[in-house]
Structures are given as structure tokens and as C-alpha cells.
Amino acid sequence: MTAARGATGRDTGAAPDSGATAVGRAGVRAASGTDASLRPATAPQAAPGDVLARASGGAASGGFPVPGGAAALRRARRRDRRVYVRAHPVLFALLGVVRRRAVTRLGRAVVVSGTEPYREALTRIPLDRAAAGTTGGAARELSGGGTLFDQEGGDHRDTRRAVAGDLGAAGVERLRPVWRAVLVRRLAPLAAGRPVDLVPLARELAGATVRALLESRADASVLAEAAADAAAAAVRDHLPGPRPPGSSRAAARATARLEALLADGPGEPTAPRALRAMIAVAAVNTTVAAVPRAVAWCADGGLWEQAADERLRPALVDELLRVTAPSPLLPRVAAADAVLDGCPVKAGDRLVLVARHAVGADREPPDALRPAPPAVARLVFGAGPHACPGARLALAQLDDVLAALAPYRPTVLDARVDRRAALPGWRRLTVRATAAARPLAEDPA
């Protein structure tokens, strides 16, 4: 991908970085169009003397806004690297050492960083979906199995069909008013000149969506917190080294709490208990990780002009999810012998699939004018029959978040890394508007 994009003559000025954290399978994503129902009630008006907000998008080229320049993109990359360096510095450094090789063997582990080997590992090599230390293994240990993550064959196809309707185009449109209402209320302080912390916004947005999707009566923020706790407890199975004392009991308690919240609904649940819990864990944790990081990239990298352009925003959403790679590392176990890029793989070998490196997130910053090919960018959601079924939901949500924030041209006031979370992200990311806009309206009419 570096060579393909380099042919444009573009010089990002940003030094490559690397990194990943031990995480479960990526949650959600998908192609989403634009929608006019979540815009300021009137066209945004620039605040007097607000040169910075308009200049942050850079000069126009061919009628399209361009990013804020090499310095801005370097600043954005430096901030984003903090979620890896401060949460998992040892793992980040280890993966950085091998990132320039497509496939690297480290004992019984095979680290896969190259684009095509990564794709092949997910589509061509038989995988042990229930092995300890993998996403499916964690799902089976905590919930007794029966989720998309630990299934194969007919069981997997049946379960996938069971959730396809709720996560397809029609299902996403049914859910859209739920997260729009959260955006309208949570972003209202920006219009009054007050700061907004995007982490609790993302948490409530994700919790409200999951609550509606799974028909739970639980409070949205409480549900999101429970899903985050369950993921943080389970992710200890993925990290190298001994487990902390009592980690298995803590993970079981966290999962039981989440399942109890999801069981509190108006009728009999239509999906198995384990599946409902894992959908909640995936949806909440990827959303809370991705949304604040994507907004920080826009604010620091001068990308608000692209976010405001309805022609460019869908491509920018793809690019931001590629660069943030909410689940930057997928732990798997080979179920049969194979060869990846000339490296022999034995049955039982651990495969460390570094999505962040496979999609070039450590090399190419986001740019809607010169996006990575979709076949590369969407590898952050897996590939083949086990690709994330919630992709459409994630793209729709991030598209609406960017559309809602772009008129304000927010800047980051404060950011704190979440060292406890299952996925790399912010514990706090506070933004303030640099352009004046009317409060958002759920319905433009």
C-alpha cells in the first residue's frame, strides 16, 4: 500500500510508527451514505476572527478540501500513538521491532504484519476458534460458547443469519434515531462555548445503541460500563505473561453482570445469552475506542473540512477507522499446517495478526482524497466468513458523529489515556468549538 499511495507524489512528512495492543475481535463497521438529519439547525457561521478553524482544513484543491499539512498530521499521529505507548509499552515495542517484516516467527508465535499474509491467515488457514488465548476462546470461557467468535460451519452461518437483520441496512436505520438523540443532547454545550468530553458521549452512544438492539431496559451508560468491564477482564487472557491472581473470577463476575443487564428486557430474548453478551462487548468497546480517537485525528490533523464535505466524509470515515484500527491485534491459533509468505506455520502455533500494520495505519495518515483501497482498509474488520457483521453500524455511527461535530471545528483541550481498557483508547478527550454553530436538530424540518 505504501508504494501505491506513494505514486501520487504525496509526502506526509510523518515518520512511521507502529503498535498494537492485545484485544479481541474488532466490533463494527460498514458502508454508510450521508444523512442530512443531524446537522446544525442553520448553516454554521464562523466566529469573528476565527481564522484558525477555517485554516485547519488547509487550502482547497480541485474544489475539495485538503488536510492541514505535514505538521498537523505529525501532531495527530503523535497524540494517537499515546494510546499504545502508555497502555501497553512492552507489547508496542515488541511489535514495532518486527513490523517491517510481513511474517515473523517468535518461538511458537507467528506475527503477521503484511497485508496479504494477514488476509490469507483469516481466509485460507484453518483456525482453532475455541483455543485458549483467542477471542473465541475467551468468549467460550466466559459465556459457555455459542457466539460468532468461537463457531465454525453451519453453527456459525446460523448465528450470523440470526443477527444479520438487526445489523443490516434496515436495522441500522431503525437504530439511527437512538444515537442521534444522544449526539443532540451531548453536543449541545459546544454551541454555548462549553467543552465536551467525547468519551462519556461515545460510551452512552454505544450503550444506547446496544440497549435498543438487544431490547434491554438497562441504563445506557451502566450497560456500556458493564461491557467495558467484561472486556477489560477478558483481555488479560490475551496479554503475555502470567494472569493476575483472581483474574478468571473477576472476568466471570463481570460477564455475569453484563448478561443480567441484558436479560432485563420486555420479553424473551431472541438471541442466546452468550451471543447477546459478546455483541454488547464488541459494539461498546470498539465504539468507545474508535470515536474519540477519530475525532482527535480530525482536530489535530486539520481534517474538519473533509469531514464537513458530504462528498468526502464517507471516504474519511473509512480512512479514520483504518488508521485507528479499533482492534489493532487479532489473536488466533492455527488448526492445521500452512505457509504464510514463506514462513511455515504448524498446527497449534499462535498467530498474532496485527491489523494496524496490515492496513498501513502505522505508515499512512487518513486522507479522503487519497484513501487506501477498500480491500485494504476494511481488513480492520477481518476477512472471509468471519468478517465483522456489525460493520455497517460502525460506519453509520462515525459518519453521524463527524457530521455533527464538523460545523464546530473542535480542538482538543485535554486527553488522558485509558490504561485499563481492553482496546487502545482515551479515558478522557475534551474538545471545544472553534467555530460558531447552532445546536444540532434531530429532524431538519
Q: In this predicted structure, what is the pLDDT of residue 272?
A: 64
Q: Are 190 and 433 in contact (CB under 8 A)?
A: yes
Span 205-220, average pLDDT: 92
- List pLDDT tens digits, range 340-379: 999 999 999 999 999 999 999 999 999 999 999 999 999 9
CA atoms within 13 A on the CB side of 241: 10
Q: Give the integer Cα–Cα distance in Å for 278 and 276.
A: 6
Average pLDDT of span 124-135: 74
Instruction: Indicate left, alpha or beta for 13 from its phi (over 0: left) and psi (-120 to 50: alpha).
Output: left
Cβ-in-10-Å burial (0-12, 13-18, 19+) of 63 comes to: exposed
Residue 331 confidence (pLDDT):
87
What's the average model confidence in pLDDT over 16-27?
33
So what's the pLDDT on residue 37? 43
Looking at the chain, the whole-number percentage of residues with pLDDT higher than 70 is: 71
**How many Å apart are CA 306 and CA 366, to the nearest integer?**
11
Distances 98 to 3, 19, 101, 112 between C-alpha atoms, Å? 19, 10, 6, 9
Confidence class for position 246, pLDDT limits 50, 70, 90: low
What pLDDT is attached to residue 140? 53
| 229 or 158, which is more confident | 229
Indicate whether 269 pLDDT > 90. no
Give residue 433's pLDDT band: very low, low, confident or very high (50, 70, 90).
Answer: very high
pTM: 0.79
* d(C-alpha 172, C-alpha 302), whole Å: 29
Q: What does the pLDDT average to over 52-70? A: 53
CA angle at residue 251 from 106 to 241, to 5 degrees?
25
* Res 12: pLDDT: 36
pLDDT value of position 367: 95
pLDDT (0 to 100) of residue 90: 82
pLDDT for res 136: 53
Cβ atoms < 10 Å from Cβ of 325: 30
Quick one: pLDDT at residue 324?
96
pLDDT confidence tier of residue 150, bands split at 50, 70 and 90: very low
Among the ranges given (26-40, 83-97, 223-237, 314-328), the one the predictor scored with the smallest mean pLDDT: 26-40
Evaluate if residue 22 carries a pLDDT over 90.
no
**What gap in Å lies between CA 14 and CA 67, rounded to an integer?**
13
pLDDT of 309 higher than 60: yes
Residue environment code for 149-169, b if the CB has 16+ CB neighbours within 10 A, otherwise e: bbbbeeebeebbeebeebbee
Closest CA to 211 of 282, 287, 264: 264
pLDDT over 90 percentage in the chain: 49
Q: How far apart are the first and last CA of the chain?
A: 44
Beta strands in 77-125 (DSSP E): 103-106, 109-112
Range scoring the smallest mean pLDDT among 98-112, 119-133, 213-227, 426-440: 119-133
- Cα 184–190–194 angle (5° rounding)? 130
> Which among 107, 78, 121 is positioned nearest to 354, based on CA atoms?
121
